Amino acid sequence: MSTMARRSKCIAALTTAAISGWACAADSLPSDAGAQWQIAVGPYLWLPTVNGTLRFTVPGGGADASSGPYNYLQNLRFALMLQGEARKGEWSIFADTIYLNFGRHESSVNATNGVLGTRETQRDVQTSFAGTLVQLGGSRTVVRQEWGNIDAIAGMRYLGVKGTLDAAIGATAGSISLAGSDFHVAQVQNIFDGFAGVRGRATITADGAWYIPFYLDVGTGTSKFTWQALTGLGYAAKRVDFGLFYRYLAFYGSGNQLVQTLRFSGPSLNVTFKF
């Protein structure tokens, strides 16, 4: 089976697991008297700038390589984004799945040793990045007023990262460049972080159709620290919501973890169907 086929099966399995877990958890929520289930599902388009630092283990030492910022038009190979929510009264369960695959990007390597040598011997360095993000969480409305609502949230965030480092290594004698060799390394890291925070919306019209959403969470686990924030402008129709948001998501690792820093930031166009 090809790498792309295995990757597609993995994405499908994670997406199914997230949605299945969301549905099963929804069945176990406390029921509010008289409340009806409200289901919302929607694909969305998030165009984040992705950058950070990946720490690769190489023979004889290590290398910290910059990752990104990636250009969507030149580097993006594939993207999949889907989110959903089930709500009954003050309680809800939500899920979010993202897959991004960026091709090779010119990079720089810092604090290298071992087989990669020094900056002077590195003629060409490129990195690539692929990541799968799955979030599953629950919330309870703690404030509901005419101006909007605030929910307390908690959940789990998974990030599976595959990074590659390619370098052309050459030797020098004075000002003369000698023959070199190509070097390739690929590493994978699975990150599991718990998170907690708040989310909600503030209405800006009397009928509540136009609103400003807000979201903030912080967490830890495999990562030393992770946090996420979102805001923007939304419009709620009877059966569908439209939104133009700005979303920021960051992971900070430690030690010899592959992900030392990884940041996603950019606009998101959302269409959510309500049932």
> What residues are paired with 259 via a beta bridge?
54
Q: What is the pLDDT of residue 229?
A: 98
Query: What is the rounded distance in angstroms from the CA atom of residue 18 to the CA atom of residue 45?
Result: 19
* Helix (H) / strand (E) containing 74: helix 72-75
Extended strands (E) in 146-209 = 148-169, 172-173, 176-177, 181-203
The phi and psi torsions of 146 (rounded to 5 degrees) equal -60, -30
pLDDT digits over 17-40, tens only? 444 444 444 444 454 545 789 999
* Helix (H) / strand (E) containing 235: strand 225-236
Half-sphere exposure of 24 (CA within 13 A, CB side): 7
Task: Give the predicted TM-score (pTM) of the model.
Answer: 0.80
- Could you say which DSSP state residue 116 is in? G
* Neighbouring C-beta atoms of residue 205, cutoff 10 Å: 10
The phi and psi torsions of 271 (rounded to 5 degrees) equal -130, 120
pLDDT digits over 194-203, tens only? 999 999 999 9
- Which domains are assigned to the chain? 3-274 (2.40.128.90)
3-class secondary structure, 255: coil
- Could you say which DSSP state residue 5 is in? H
Q: What is the pLDDT along the chain (275 residues), one digit of tens a residue?
A: 544 445 445 444 544 444 444 444 444 445 454 578 999 999 999 988 888 888 888 776 677 887 767 666 667 777 789 999 999 999 999 999 999 888 777 777 765 565 565 554 455 778 888 889 999 999 999 999 999 999 999 999 999 999 888 877 655 444 434 345 677 888 999 999 999 999 999 999 999 899 999 999 999 999 999 999 999 999 999 899 999 999 999 999 988 899 999 999 999 999 999 99
